[in-house]
Amino acid sequence: MEALKDYFENTKGTGVMATADKEGKVNAAIYSRPHFLEDGSIAFIMRDRLTHHNLQSNAYAAYLFVEEGPGYKGKRLHLRKIREEENRELIQSLSRREYKNEKPGSRFLVAFQVDKVLPLIGAVDDQEA
């Protein structure tokens, strides 16, 4: 997990989080790089929008990260939600941006277990991922 943490701390790019609701309707949204927590999980700060809503009924998500620069390099993370919290102080300490006039309950810290890490492009074990 330390190598993955170093990768995200030192690599610029664009991230996309994909989720699905309980009926399988898919959503994708731009998300910043993950935060790495002391227990080995990763977390994202989320507003109460469709991605967060989907995770209430379907704990699985995929995070795709495309590195800046030429070519197609990056990572795909297969994730499973393990918990979430509304601790404003913790969220503020992790936040990379400042939000003024924030309403209570408007942001959540959602933690995930990383089930699988794949390259951005390519097959793994002779299977398309």
Q: How confident is the model at residue 106 (pLDDT cuts 50, 70, 90)?
A: confident
Q: What residues pair up with 19 in beta bridges, in sequence order?
A: 27, 61
- How far is Cα 37 from Cα 41, in angstroms, rounded to an integer? 5
Whole-number pLDDT of residue 47: 93
Residue 53 has pLDDT above 60, yes or no: yes
Predicted TM-score (pTM) of this structure: 0.87
Residue 105 has pLDDT above 80, yes or no: no
Considering the chain, what is the average pLDDT of its residues? 90
For residue 125, count CB atoms less than 10 angstroms from its CB and return exposed for 0-12, middle for 13-18, buried for 19 or more: exposed
**Which of 49-53, 89-93, 94-98 has the largest mean confidence?**
49-53
Whole-number pLDDT of residue 72: 94
Whole-number pLDDT of residue 129: 45
